[in-house]
C-alpha cells in the first residue's frame, strides 16, 4: 500500500510516529522545491539518511564531525576503498585515523541533523517505499525513533510558540518602531536579518518577504520574532485586512440515542444481509 502525501497534511512527527509504531522497514523520501531528504528505516528504527546537499558518505560525516580534515579526505578519495564506506571505515580504524565509536557517533550526528531539520519542513511531498534499503556499502547505525520524536516535538513547540507570536504571515506587514534607528546602529545584525529589514514596506506582507528571501515560514518567524524582541520592528495588520472573527466554540448537545430494542437491530442485520 502506498504511503504518499504532503507534510502540510501529515507532519514529520506523524510520519515518524507511524513508522515507529508500525515497525516499518523502507525508505522515506521527502521533496521540497529547494531540498530533498531520504531516510531509511529498519523495523521502525532510523538507520541511514542523506539529503540533496549532504550525501551521507562516511567521509562527509567524518569531516562534518571534525574527525577528518578536508585534506585527509582528498587523499582518501584516491584509495580504492573510498567508494565503499564499510571498507573505508575499516581502513580508517586500522590506520588509527578514527575509532569505531567516532564512526558511530558521526553517523548518528549526521542522521539526527537531517531528521531534526525535517521537523522544520512544513510542506513537501513524501513517499514511503516499503522494504527499500540503502546500498550495502553504507554505514548504518540504528536510532530509536521515540527519542527523536520527543526532541523533534520539543523543537516543534518552539515553532508553535513563534506561530503564536506571529499567527498569520499573509495578513501582517512589518514596520519600524519609533526608535528603531538608534537600535539598528547599536546592534550587529546577521545577513538574513538585514535582508528581511531591507524588504520592510507597507506593501510587503511577512509572507512576501519570506518568499523574496527564499525563507520558509519557520526561518522568517525566527528572524522577525528576534527583531521584534529587540524592539526594532513590529508586526501590524496589512492595510485593508479585517480582524478575524471570534472563534467561539459552538455548544455541543449530548443526547442519548433513542431506546431501540435488540430485536430491531437483529431485523436490520437480517435484512441487510439479504440486499
Sites of contact with other proteins (CB under 8 A)? 1-6, 8-10, 14, 17-18, 21-22, 252-258, 260, 262, 264-269, 271-273, 275
Output 7 or 143, the one with its CB closest to other proteins.
Answer: 7
Is residue 17 classed exposed, middle or buried when 0-12, 13-18 and 19+ CB atoms within 10 A define those classes? middle
CB of 264 to other proteins, least distance (A): 6
CB of 169 to other proteins, least distance (A): 20
For residue 46, what are the CA distances in angstroms to 107, 141, 178, 243? Answer: 11, 8, 50, 44
Q: Which residues pair with 175 in a beta bridge?
A: 234
Output 94 or 271, the one with its CB closest to other proteins.
Answer: 271
Helix, strand, or coil (residue 57): coil
Label residues 62-90 b or e (16+ Cβ within 10 Å = b): bbebebbeeeebeebeeeeebebbeebbe
CB of 51 to other proteins, least distance (A): 23
Output 203 or 251, the one with its CB closest to other proteins.
Answer: 251
- Pairwise CA distance, residues 264 & 258, whole Å: 12
CB of 218 to other proteins, least distance (A): 20
Output 135 or 246, the one with its CB closest to other proteins.
Answer: 246
Amino acid at each position: 500500500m502506498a504511503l504518499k502525501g504532503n507534510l502540510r497534511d501529515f507532519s514529520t512527527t506523524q510520519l515518524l510516529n507511524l513508522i515507529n509504531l508500525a515497525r516499518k522497514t523502507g525508505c522515506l523520501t521527502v521533496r521540497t522545491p529547494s531540498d530533498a531528504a531520504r531516510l531509511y528505516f529498519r523495523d521502525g528504527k532510523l538507520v541511514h539518511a542523506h539529503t540533496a546537499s549532504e550525501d551521507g558518505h562516511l567521509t562527509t560525516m567524518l569531516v562534518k564531525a571534525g574527525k577528518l580534515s578536508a585534506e585527509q579526505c582528498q587523499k582518501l578519495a584516491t584509495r580504492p576503498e573510498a567508494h565503499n564506506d564499510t571498507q573505508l571505515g575499516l581502513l580508517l580504524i586500522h590506520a588509527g585515523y578514527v575509532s569505531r565509536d567516532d564512526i558511530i557517533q558521526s553517523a548518528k550526528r549526521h542522521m539526527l541533523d537531517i531528521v531534526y531539520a525535517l521537523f522544520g519542513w512544513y510542506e513537501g511531498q513524501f513517499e514511503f517505499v516499503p522494504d527499500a534499503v540503502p546500498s550495502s556499502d553504507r554505514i548504518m547505525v540504528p536510532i530509536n525513533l521515540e527519542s527523536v520524536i520527543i526532541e523533534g516535538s520539543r523543537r516543534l513547540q518552539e515553532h508553535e510558540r513563534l506561530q503564536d507570536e506571529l499567527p498569520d504571515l499573509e495578513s501582517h506587514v512589518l514596520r519600524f518602531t519609533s526608535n528603531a534607528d538608534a537600535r539598528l546602529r547599536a546592534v550587529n545584525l546577521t545577513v538574513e536579518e538585514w535582508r528581511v529589514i531591507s524588504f520592510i514596506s507597507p506593501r510587503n506582507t511577512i509572507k512576501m518577504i519570506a518568499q523574496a528571501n527564499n525563507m520558509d515560514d519557520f526561518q522568517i518567524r525566527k528572524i522577525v520574532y528576534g527583531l521584534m524582541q529587540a524592539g526594532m520592528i513590529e508586526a501590524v495588520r496589512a492595510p485593508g485586512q479585517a480582524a478575524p472573527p471570534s472563534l467561539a466554540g459552538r455548544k455541543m448537545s449530548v443526547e442519548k440515542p433513542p431506546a431501540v430494542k435488540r430485536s430491531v437491530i437483529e431485523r436490520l442485520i437480517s435484512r441487510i444481509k439479504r440486499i
